[in-house]
């Protein structure tokens, strides 16, 4: 099967990392079309996945855009839509991996007469999208998509609640290659030394720096934790959220936590950084569509505490393979941190259970099989 994948981003976020894994089995007969150049293209090339930057300028519409902004953006997209439609005629189907890719892919599907798949990586609600963009996504999916793949039951439920068709949507969780998350003990020790974290109980937070990702909640929780509890934040601001980064630094200074918080920025050595952690925290204040970091922590053999909403509820059984706390509750988060700090044997047992369960449930081989079955069932 020849597939034209479409993605709007030049930066490798969760949806893009997922796309790399999905495209690998089709690398001899696919093309990934990007709407902007960047590090994501380089990652695709490293995996020998054919890639081409199709747009000459970035798409300006954002999740919170108004109707007028969205309409003006569609007009600006016409040359890109025509280019994608022409390219699509060389392939069996179009696979839109993001919402902007859905807009382009849906119209290109109409003009090229090629079927459309939409991989839904978002919670389609007003927590994340303007009413206009929410309506556009659901309308285009209902009208043009032969198949919608949701990355969780939470994403599926939000799609249906927004008016999406129930007969075109199926749930397939993100896949992972467990061996990627194994780290050498000597490297772990070296990394701790480099970061001056020896003797600390390390809580890791892995996400872009954004208000809804809730880094401020973990910082506040530290005030209720022992002095040897240190937080590392891996990620940086995107999409004009740099004011929030300044707020985080101000919060750290005002709480007197400068020696217990480290901002590491964007890093490529995520498994290694997770390996030095004693606990990984997920603190989103709005429902997370899936929670890729949650599974990555599990595969690294690290305990995870996550906000009790969205996809996280489907991944974690409290006290069995992780911990859940209500969103936006730093004091309850601190209680879990302190439990993990004070009861290492109990915490290690939970982390080991999580690693075994995640390896079985989210192995990339199983996910590839599920997607191949859906594509075969839908298009043959």
Q: Write the Ramachandran bin of 291: left for phi over 0, alpha for psi from -120 to 50, otherwise beta.
A: left
Please give the pLDDT value at position 183: 83
Bridge partner list, 205:
233
Q: Let me know if domain 3-175+363-379 sits in CATH 2.60.34.10.
A: no
pLDDT bucket at 56, cuts 50 / 70 / 90: confident
Virtual torsion, Cα 137, 139, 140, 141, nearest 10 deg: 80
b/e burial code for range 191-208 (CB count within 10 A of at least 16 → b):
bbeebebeebbbbbbbbb
- C-alpha 78, offset from chain centre: 29
pLDDT bucket at 69, cuts 50 / 70 / 90: low
Contact between 300 and 181 (Cβ < 8 Å): yes
- How large is the average pLDDT for residues 251-275? 95
- C-alpha 366, offset from chain centre: 19
Please give the pLDDT value at position 13: 86
Q: Is the pLDDT of residue 83 over 80?
A: yes
CATH 3.40.50.2000 domain extents, the chain? 3-175+363-379, 178-361
pLDDT tens, position by position, 347-379: 999 999 999 999 999 999 999 999 999 999 988
Please give the pLDDT value at position 68: 46
**Domain 178-361, what architecture?**
3-Layer(aba) Sandwich (3.40)
Return d(Cα 302, Cα 295) in angstroms, integer.
10
Bridge partner list, 233:
205, 263
The Cα-based distances of 48 to 6, 91, 189, 254 in angstroms read: 17, 18, 33, 48
- How large is the average pLDDT for residues 263-279? 94
Both structure tokens of 5: 């994948």
pLDDT tens, position by position, 109-140: 999 999 999 999 999 988 878 899 899 999 99
pLDDT bucket at 64, cuts 50 / 70 / 90: low
Least confident of 51-60, 90-99, 194-203: 51-60
* Phi (first) and psi of residue 106, to 5 degrees: -65, -50
Return d(Cα 238, Cα 38) in angstroms, integer.
14
Closest to 80 measured CA to CA, from 66, 64, 65, 61: 61
Return d(Cα 239, Cα 114) in angstroms, integer.
32
Contact between 337 and 229 (Cβ < 8 Å): yes
Return d(Cα 268, Cα 162) in angstroms, integer.
36
């Amino acid at each position: 099967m020849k597939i034209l994948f479409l993605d709007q981003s030049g930066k490798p976020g969760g949806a893009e990392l997922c796309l790399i894994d999905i495209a690998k089995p089709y690398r001899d007969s696919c093309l990934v079309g990007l709407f902007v150049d960047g590090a994501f293209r380089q990652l695709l090339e490293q995996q020998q996945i054919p890639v081409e930057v199709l747009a000459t300028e970035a798409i300006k519409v954002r999740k919170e855009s108004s109707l007028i902004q969205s309409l003006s953006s569609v007009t600006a997209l016409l040359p890109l839509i025509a280019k994608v439609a022409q390219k699509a005629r060389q392939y069996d189907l179009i696979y839109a991996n993001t919402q902007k890719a859905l807009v382009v892919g849906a119209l290109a599907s109409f003009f090229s007469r090629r079927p459309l798949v939409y991989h839904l990586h978002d919670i389609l609600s007003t927590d994340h999208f303007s009413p206009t963009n929410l309506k556009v996504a659901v309308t285009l999916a209902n009208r043009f998509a032969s198949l919608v793949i949701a990355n969780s039951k939470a994403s599926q439920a939000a799609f249906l609640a927004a008016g999406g068709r129930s007969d075109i949507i199926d749930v397939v969780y993100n896949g992972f290659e467990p061996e990627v998350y194994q780290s050498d003990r000597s490297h772990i020790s070296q990394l701790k030394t480099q970061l001056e974290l020896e003797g600390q109980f390390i809580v890791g937070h892995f996400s872009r720096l954004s208000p809804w990702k809730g880094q401020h909640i973990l910082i506040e929780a530290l005030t209720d934790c022992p002095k040897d509890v240190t937080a590392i934040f891996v990620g940086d601001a995107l999409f004009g959220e740099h004011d929030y980064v300044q707020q985080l630094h101000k919060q750290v200074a005002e709480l007197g936590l400068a020696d217990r918080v480290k901002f590491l920025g964007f890093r490529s050595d995520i498994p290694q950084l997770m390996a030095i952690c004693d606990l990984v925290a997920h603190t989103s204040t709005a429902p997370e569509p899936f929670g890729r970091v949650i599974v990555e922590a599990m595969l690294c053999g690290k305990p995870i505490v996550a906000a009790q909403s969205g996809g996280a509820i489907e991944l974690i059984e409290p006290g069995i393979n992780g911990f859940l706390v209500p969103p936006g509750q730093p004091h309850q988060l601190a209680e879990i941190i302190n439990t993990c700090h004070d009861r290492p044997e109990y915490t290690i047992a939970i982390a080991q259970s999580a690693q075994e369960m995640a390896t079985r449930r989210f192995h990339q081989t199983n996910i590839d099989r599920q997607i191949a079955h859906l594509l075969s069932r839908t298009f043959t």
